């Protein structure tokens, strides 16, 4: 994985562990030489992961719609800032630049972005790994809700494996890496099967 798209809160959240998790994920990406693709802001968890990456020489690509562009909010030290016309273009651009997606704790913006990544994976629009970093059990109620949606037969049980959930950034990245290897192997098999007719 060369670049990971990180969705996360534009707010710091109520507990210091949330900001700390953005820093920790930044360091885990740096240690693996993985670049960051994100929403471009300097606020909340978004700002924290960007600063961590910038201060340690990591690659940071911000993608921001013109309507949200505000020099006070956009992080000034990014490797690259891509300005797009609207939110749809932003999500498409972020997704196309990254080899996988991670959601840190966040609000509606984060939830919408990560659910779109999961939905696109379900529809096979992309086949990239997706991870939820479950800091202080933040995503436990969401996991419980998804179990409920599976029990009510609105989500297929097999689609729960479209994302990985972990409380440690290194373990999360390891699991996503394994998922990526499986996906590549499956794709290779399909190519061989097609070639053999």
Residues making contact with ligand AMP (CB under 6 A): 7-11, 39-41, 46, 64, 68, 73, 106-110, 113
Name the closest residue to ligand AMP (Cβ): 109
Contact (CB, 8 A) for 17 and 167 = no
Report d(CA 70, CA 3) in Å as an integer. 25
* Nearer of residues 68 and 183 to ligand AMP, judged by Cβ: 68
Residue whose CB is less far from ligand AMP, 137 or 197:
137
Q: CA 132, CA 6: separation in Å to the nearest integer?
A: 10
Q: Which is nearer to ligand AMP, 141 or 197 (CB)?
A: 141
| Least distance (Å) between residue 174 CB and ligand AMP | 23
Say if CB 129 and CB 179 are below 8 A apart: yes
CB of 189 to ligand AMP, least distance (A): 34
Smallest distance from the beta carbon of 90 to ligand AMP, in angstroms? 7
Q: Which of 46/165 has CB closer to ligand AMP?
A: 46
> Residue with structure tokens 């719609």?
65
Residue number with CB closer to ligand AMP (93 or 164): 93
| Residue 34 to residues 61, 67, 79, 88, Cα–Cα distance (Å) | 12, 29, 13, 25
> To the nearest whole angstrom, how small is the minimum distance from the Cβ of residue 93 to ligand AMP?
11
C-beta of 153: minimal distance to ligand AMP in Å? Answer: 29
175 and 131 Cβ atoms separated by less than 8 Å: yes
The alpha carbon torsion through 72, 78, 80, 86 (nearest 10 deg) reads -40
């Amino acid at each position: 994985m060369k670049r990971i798209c990180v969705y996360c809160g534009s707010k710091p959240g109520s507990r210091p562990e949330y900001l700390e998790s953005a820093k920790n994920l930044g360091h885990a990406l740096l240690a693996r030489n993985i670049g960051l693709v994100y929403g471009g802001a300097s606020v909340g968890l978004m700002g924290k992961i960007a600063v961590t990456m910038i201060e340690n020489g990591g690659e940071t690509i911000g993608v921001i719609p013109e309507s949200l562009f505000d020099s006070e909010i956009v992080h000034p030290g990014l490797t690259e800032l891509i300005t797009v016309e609207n939110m749809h273009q932003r999500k498409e651009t972020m997704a196309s630049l990254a080899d996988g997606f991670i959601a840190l704790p966040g609000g509606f913006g984060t939830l919408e972005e990560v659910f779109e990544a999961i939905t696109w994976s379900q529809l096979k629009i992309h086949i990239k790994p997706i991870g939820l970093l479950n800091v202080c059990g933040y995503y436990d109620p969401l996991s419980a809700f998804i179990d409920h949606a599976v029990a009510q037969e609105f989500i297929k049980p097999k689609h729960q494996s479209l994302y990985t959930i972990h409380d440690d950034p290194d373990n999360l990245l390891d699991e996503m890496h394994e998922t990526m290897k499986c996906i590549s192997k499956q794709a290779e098999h399909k190519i061989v099967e097609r070639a053999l007719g």
